[in-house]
Structure 1
Amino acid sequence: MPGTNEYPVQLVQPDGSRVLDREHAALVADIDHDRLRDLYEDMVVTRRIDAECTALQRQGQLGLWAPLLGQEGAQVGSARALHADDYAFCSYREAAVAYCRGVRPDQMTRMWRGVAHSCWDPDEVNITNPNIIVGAQGLHATGYAYAAHLDGAEIATIAYFGDGASSQGDIAEAMGFASGWSAPVVFFCQNNHWAISEPVRVQSATPIVRRAFGYGIPGVQVDGNDVLAVLAVTRQAIARARAGGGPSFIEAITYRMGPHTTADDPTRYRVSAESEQWARRDPIDRVRRLLAREGGFDEDFQQRVRDSADEVAHELRTATIEMPDPDPSELFEHVYATPHPLVTQQRREYTRYLADDFGAQDAEAEGVLS
């Protein structure tokens, strides 16, 4: 990623036609029709995962869900640029990244259903669990990358965050450390235009990518709804990090088509015309049109993708509904890496509380207080 770029890189226009950009097209020259079909399937399947989880929350099966509708191109393109030994540090919206890293559908909703502290084992798939503390993953990614560098490992990390999180001190500190230490980390900002109910112009009066320049970090803007362009610039940044070139910053310009979370109502703060405009830039439709233009899309392929999405959605729904409630004592597992006396004491007191018919005690206490 030589130099800087704050004009969005684009390789495919919304109508499916290719853009002449030899430099970035060369980075994805290996993506033939078969591999482009794979990217298309990734996006369709993850959109179906997202729709299924949103429906499960509406039906009372999940406590909360953070939809990614409209951001499939940014997530799939960047995730497919990673090597197996690279490590992804996500926020709470990267279900597509998790899917591409190998997280199984039956693991996707454990935390959101409230039956476990986390959804999956991060070390099995080299991606962290959903992070609710906005921006903290930037520091985690930087620290992990620097430690790996000191150990001589030629890997990269990538930190996913949104335009709103770019205003958090944790992201600023992470970029400062990453620049000073030449840590092999890629900061991947999904600028989806809305941080809950505040537009991106409230976060920054200039393009967000410019924030990287002040830290001496090269940055690039990319059309986040163009999966090929995202794949190209992320490959470039990952290669630079793995080769010892230090950190990079990518601002993927995309749009959150749905609510911030299922607890949000976007109609209260944005107009429908804006969403309709971005719907015409849909990342999935863009690849479908490209494949159709070049003879790589037919009914058999479309049906195969539908069947794959249906199978994943069925597995996710069944696993979610059938998840057993955990034993109450599991609340104290994995709080610390090693035994801790306070946790041991709390576990003992809670076990005694459960054994002493706590329901009757609570009822009696309520009667006394009333």
Structure 2
Amino acid sequence: MQRRAFLKKAGLGAVAGTAAVAAPAIAQSNPQINWKMTSTYGPSLPPLFSTAQMFCDLVKEVTDGNFNIRLYPAGELVPGYGVMDAVGNRTVECGQTASYYYYGKDPSFCFDTAVPFGLNVRQMNAWMYEGDGLKLMRELFAPRGIVNFPLGNTGTQMGGWYRKEIKTVGDLKGLKMRTAGFAGEVLSRLGVIPQQIPPGDIYPSLEKGALDAVEFVGPVDDEKLGFQKVAKYYYYPGWWEGSAQVSLYVNDKAYAELPKAYQRVIDVASRAAGSKMVQDYDAHNPEALRRLIAGGAVLKSFPREVMDASFEASNQVYKEFCDKDPGFKKIFDNYMAFRDNIVPWFRVAEGSFDNYLGAALARKK
């Protein structure tokens, strides 16, 4: 009963209710289907991997066990960064990943996850579902044989862990830093040497000195991976990820073969599981950050000089990409127009409220 109540709250009530009342009819009209799902992540990153598992569980439960998706962590069937190719060629029917990992295939994929000085999590959801985001992303993924669905968001990320303090832009020069997607291109203009390394290999690289800095997600995941043990300076904000959307990739032919009811289940289950990811990070990042600081992490904000230089470098890179790629420009123009329209509202309402409340609570202490 508790599970059924949850499904109703998650927006799956109509489908779940139908399954409960008319299970024999559904069994007749909806065939037994078994899929494989691969992920860029694994159990060592609970909010990310558990979101994929929750998605699989919901699909199975809502279809009364007729539609089963077995989840495999990174490396078990497919390398962590091989999700796009594996889904596109139907090695697996679906996968969980972050699209900015495929920056090398097309920088436009970053708009499906995060771009520097872009949208926060609520703004990203608004662009995807109420703006042109999902439409534009579906057009982008179609030639790859993929139907994409948002599958959660980490929220605004941290700026990463550094062995030394970052006081000026000059301190970034020559810094070997693990980062992903568009961030690496922008940071390279500031002298950083970007390195794209799968999650499981980041800590050993940092520990051995192959990296001077690393950005990953935020307190919950960073604490799990133990970065604070080898790099004590923890910077914010992660201006390259005002939010970071995680995606579900589904092979287009496998998707087209599904009954319409199963297609609808994928859509609704991905939204429900994705919502849980945001809640997970929001609920648990505060305590994780406090533990990190208590354990010796030194929390610092990027100097204004660094932020301004990063903003200028980002705009320069955007212009270069727009000038040479009409497809990139089409998405960029739409995304940034949405950002520029929505940010003033957030500044008036959300920003002013959060800033005042934060200051009031600080005074109270």
TM over 0.5: no
The alignment's TM-score, normalised by the length of structure 1, stands at 0.29
Higher relative contact order (CA 8 A, sep 6+): 1
Task: Report the structure, 1 or 2, having the larger strand content.
Answer: 2
Q: Say which one has the larger Rg.
A: 1
The alignment's TM-score, normalised by the length of structure 2, stands at 0.29
Task: Report the structure, 1 or 2, having the larger helix content.
Answer: 2
